[in-house]
Structure 1
Amino acid sequence: MSLTLSPAARDFLDGWLAHQKSIADASDNTLTAYQSDLVHFFLFLTDHHGAPVSLAGLKAVKTRDMRAWLARMRADGKSARSVARSLSAVKSFYRWLSERQDFDATHVLTARAPKFQRKLPRPLSEDAAKAVLDHVEFQSSEPWMQARDTAVITLLYGCGLRISEALNLTGAYRDLPDVLTIRGKGGKERQVPVLPAAKDAVAEYARLCPHDLTNDAPLFRGKRGGQLNTRLVSGLMEKLRNQLGLPDTVTPHALRHSFATHLLAAGGDLRAIQELLGHANLSTTQVYTAVDTAHLMDAYERAHPRQKQ
């Protein structure tokens, strides 16, 4: 089915996406997902009411419409997690729209997403993380690229950075300070202490890099001098996990999970870890307590004398 929007409704959709980009600092992938979710919702309304989506139609959405949309998604085979994500995008759009059009969006904002079991993060064990750090320099043939790969992986694991945060660092950080100021999701700033190993790794990369690391240019460069691509870092992790016999869950983001889980296991304070990761809500960080408990129970079941009888 083709989607037909009134000019006003399309303008509001475009305006909301622009708002997410400029104010909420949403990534391109996030914006694409948001747009897909809203388009699916608008397609449903078009089919459900037999008329193109208009601003008046958006304002008139009722609780029964929301229930019908949620039921349609489940009937189409969407998982509870996907349904919840789509509903979250629609609610965000309606909050923004209702503020500008001064209407009551309660019917949309009170819609309930289906419950789902949140997946636990899949960190590396401490031994696996050490093996990754020990072997990363052997994945490239040129010394400066070896130093670059080591510096990136050390930052991800040693500072808990997202891959985008590490690759967005500029040449101004070729000499890392003791504390990094990172601007993460939603423009939220956080302070991240820098381990000596990370400072040394970045300094060695900067010393060997053949490209001019000016203050306003990317710090981490690809072979031809452009900004290092996230796909190359993902490919690097793929090679490492194949060589080391690690599972497919060992990705660049798993290093951030490992940073948090290993800090918690060493007695780190949950609130402090929340600040280091830049989580807006403590509940997001609390999933790592479940990971740590799972590891403890696994160790108990493998090692406790009663389990060996």
Structure 2
Amino acid sequence: MIPARRAPRLRKKKGSYYADFYDRHRGRKWVALGTKNQRDAQRRFIELSDAYMRGDYDPWQEQRPRLMRLARAIDEHMAMRRREGQAERTIQTRAGLFRRFAETLPPEIAVIDVRPEHVRDFVYQPHFTEHSRATHYARLRTFFNWCRSQGYTDHNPCDEVRPPRKPRPKINYLTPAQLDRLLEAIEAHHALHGRPDRDLRWYADVVRFTAGSGLRLGELCALKWKDVHLAERLIVVRSDAEHRTKSGDSRIVQIAPMAAEVLHRLSGGREMPGEAYVFRGPRSDRLSYELTSRLFRKYRRLAKLPESLTFHSLRKTYGTVLASAGVPIRSIQKLLGHSDVRITAQVYADVLSTALREQVEGAFERFEE
């Protein structure tokens, strides 16, 4: 016999999460949780489920939005992000965008009073690039979905705004020749300006390892020796209270031989203290995010490389090498720690299609022999 009322279920559709409610007399009701992040969705689902089972929440009944000022909602959203362990740098970037948006609206405006034309006028400003428009739209949409899940509004104003065309991302990776030029620039600079108390060549190890592991800069700075398994050429990228990865998940990464050589050289064949950081700055026991990024720009100029290349391009180098070699897309997704395989497919679309074409041609050349 089908029960008149069953416990809600967590569902996922097209990358977004929903709470699925069922009542035999009123039917089924899906309630959007306003997030594509699994951990956020599980937390919000538990809150709604508990309220539903207590009788404090009725998904079939229209909930009246609580009056909430936009500025305060932004502060609450950022506080929620901090509680969930998101990087402070990311929080500040998002907060800056939301506050710039709020500055274009009447003072003390409530969340429920934000209209589609407000979003449209902000996102489609003439001086924004296509990439900026797409990014701003996506982040505002996520924010207002969260506002809706909190009961601050009954609609998302972004839903009635035409999404900006998302340009196909250009992969800014380093070719083998460019990587060699960058490393030569570091060595040459050390030869001219190195001091006994400050060996600048440590940065060459950072560059080699990143290109051979695909780690994000924050993940690189947080890497400890306890997560290094040299015999298998594996490292564990942890997501915990001390450092949360972008996707919120831990992963295992197979590193390239050149990255393994860096670890062998740094350890000197000794067993290293597990809690010690793998990479150290010139005057600290941990790599500095800001210094590492700044030095890349410096050596990029010395090597006369394109300004479009950033430290993150080293990560793209790792992904591009894998895609060019025909490594399955889902394997690349797991190694890079992308939350969705579609991100991997979009970023490396051209490389993947070229590799696939070469594999098909090679397969039929062998078939016809």
TM-score (norm 1): 0.74
Match of 1:180 among 213, 222, 235: 235
Q: How does 1:92-111 map to 2 (within 5 A)?
A: 92-101=142-151, 103-111=153-161
Match of 1:160 in 2: 214
Match of 1:198 in 2: 259
- 1:66-106 Cα deviation digits (max 9, x unpaired): 23432344345223322332222222222222222275224
Distance 1:256 1:8 in 2: 40
Match of 1:22 in 2: 83
Q: Unaligned 5+ residue runs, structure 1?
A: 1-5, 297-309
**Matched length:** 277
Q: How does 1:249-264 map to 2 (within 5 A)?
A: 249-264=308-323
Closer, same or farther in 2 for the Cα pair 1:19/1:109, shift >3 Å? farther
Q: How does 1:1-309 map to 2 (within 5 A)?
A: 9-23=70-84, 25-46=85-106, 52-53=108-109, 57-61=110-114, 65-75=115-125, 77-101=127-151, 103-133=153-183, 136-137=186-187, 139-140=189-190, 141=194, 145=199, 148-173=202-227, 176=230, 178=232, 179-182=234-237, 183=239, 184-207=245-268, 214-286=273-345, 287-291=347-351
Q: Unaligned 5+ residue runs, structure 2?
A: 1-66, 240-244, 357-369
- 1:153-211 Cα deviation digits (max 9, x unpaired): 22211111111111111343476463222142031222201334323312322449xxx
CA contact (8 A) 1:174 1:206 kept: no
Instruction: Report the structure, 1 or 2, having the larger helix content.
Output: 1
| Identity %, equivalent residues | 23
Amino acid at match of 1:257: K
Instruction: Report the structure, 1 or 2, having the larger strand content.
Output: 2
Higher mean C-alpha deviation, range 164-173 or range 232-241: 232-241
Which entry has the higher C-alpha Rg, 1 or 2? 2
Amino acid at match of 1:128: Q
- 1:191-250 Cα deviation digits (max 9, x unpaired): 201334323312322449xxxx75435332222224222333334434543444422233
Deviation for aligned residue 1:273: 0.9
CA contact (8 A) 1:237 1:252 kept: yes
* Aligned Cα root-mean-square deviation (Å): 3.4
Amino acid at match of 2:235: L
CA contact (8 A) 1:17 1:35 kept: yes
CA contact (8 A) 1:94 1:109 kept: no
TM-score (norm 2): 0.64
Distance 1:216 1:255 in 2: 26
